Amino acid sequence: MGTCILPQNLSKRLIKELIQGKEMATKLQLMLHDHNKPLVEENIGFGSVSSSSSSAEELASKILNSFSQTLSVVTGYNNDNTINNIIHSNSSDQTSQVNPHDQASHCDDPSSDDYGAESKIKRSSHGIKDRRGCYKRRKNSQSWTTTVSTLEDGQAWRKYGQKEILNAEYPRAYFRCTRKYDQGCRATRQVQQIQDNPKLYQTTYIGEHTCKNILKPPQMIIKDSDLDNNLMNVITSTTILEEVKPIISSSITTNDTSSLSDDHHNKLSLDHHHHHHNNSDHEIINLWPSELKDLELSDPSMGLLSSSLGVSASNNDDHDIVSIMFSFGDRTINTTNCSTSGTNSHSLDMDEFVDTSIEFRSCDFEFDDNNEFCLLGSL
């Protein structure tokens, strides 16, 4: 597909930014892991960040900035596969590629059912060995490798194998896109755990998603009872929203609601304030895109939108007061002083959200009696 023609200096800068971002994210993760957990247990839970909040915030800010810089480089030069190629150059093995076509005659479309029925019959009938058809390794596919601390990347993967790897402490897991058969998507990924406690995985993405990852109605679930756990999964990440991708450009850090200059500077953040709390009443935590799984739509290869979900809340009442702010760069959607009761989960239809909210300037939402997320104000 697209080949990367990125000036070397920018390429270096991009790599540098990504490395820095990764390092800082790791630090932040450790920080959260080491300091927050004990605090959560003996303390109030959501106030936990406060003890190390200054440095953590600092780190978070730097990380965001790092990704912003990265985005500005990427989106300024290529909106397609640039990032893949760049990161790929950093990848460990299965390199050598850059032969984007010739994706191994790996059963090009699922319709030409290759290894499917036919071989199944031959194998199961009499245990007769026969070739399963055209299966070949896809060593010529685009691939890139990252090191992360979670299996979650917001995409729908289906595990199809696991292997013990020579000289590797942990087995390697193989995943394919869930839409492999209904949409012929050939994206796969391999996850190699390289460390335990804290967990670290080296994730290699092979091939690009060709699917539209939007089959089920996207939903954002905010379950009060899960907030504690969610906070422990915290880290930062870059994900993509297909609909928003085309208008991403440079900076993603501004939250200024006053200016409505252009369609760029997109950032999704969600603040979940708690007001019954003693120390701080406003904390922002970046959640993994697993929390956004169902609204997350694409693959990490196609573009980047740094979407962070900030959440904090109080559980000391049967009425949680939450305030949620979505900000797409300089546009903000704010939900202040929403009152919700009970421990039900609130769902937000992200289909509608993604489609329409870009048009909003500032408006209010709340959870109604059915815990539906609804619009209060006008556009």
Partner DNA sequence: AATATTTGACCTAG
Partner DNA sequence: CTAGGTCAAATATT
Residues at the contact surface with DNA, assessed by CB under 7 A: 94, 106-107, 115-116, 119-120, 123-124, 127, 129-132, 135-139, 156-167, 172, 174, 176, 178, 188, 190
* Closest separation in Å from C-beta 86 to DNA: 22
Nearer to DNA, 60 or 107 (CB): 107
Q: Position of tokens 């290759």?
A: 114
Measured CA to CA, the distance from residue 70 to residue 259 in angstroms comes to: 24
Nearer to DNA, 271 or 294 (CB): 294
Give 207-245 as a DSSP string: S---S---SSPPEEEEEGGGHHHHHHT-----B--TTTG
Q: Position of tokens 């953040």?
A: 269
* Closest separation in Å from C-beta 185 to DNA: 13
Give the residue among 198, 153, 194, 150 at the shortest CA–CA distance from 33: 198
Measured CA to CA, the distance from residue 311 to residue 267 in angstroms comes to: 15
Nearer to DNA, 92 or 341 (CB): 92
348, containing H or E segment:
strand 345-349
* Closest separation in Å from C-beta 280 to DNA: 35
DSSP 3-state of 50: helix
* Closest separation in Å from C-beta 313 to DNA: 25
* Closest separation in Å from C-beta 211 to DNA: 13
Nearer to DNA, 166 or 258 (CB): 166
Nearer to DNA, 157 or 360 (CB): 157
Task: For strands 319-328 and 200-206, give the pairing.
Answer: unpaired
Nearer to DNA, 124 or 278 (CB): 124
* Closest separation in Å from C-beta 182 to DNA: 9
Residues 6+ apart with CB under 8 A from 46: 227, 228, 231, 274, 277, 283, 312, 313, 314, 315
Is 376 in contact with 363 (CB distance < 8 Å)? yes
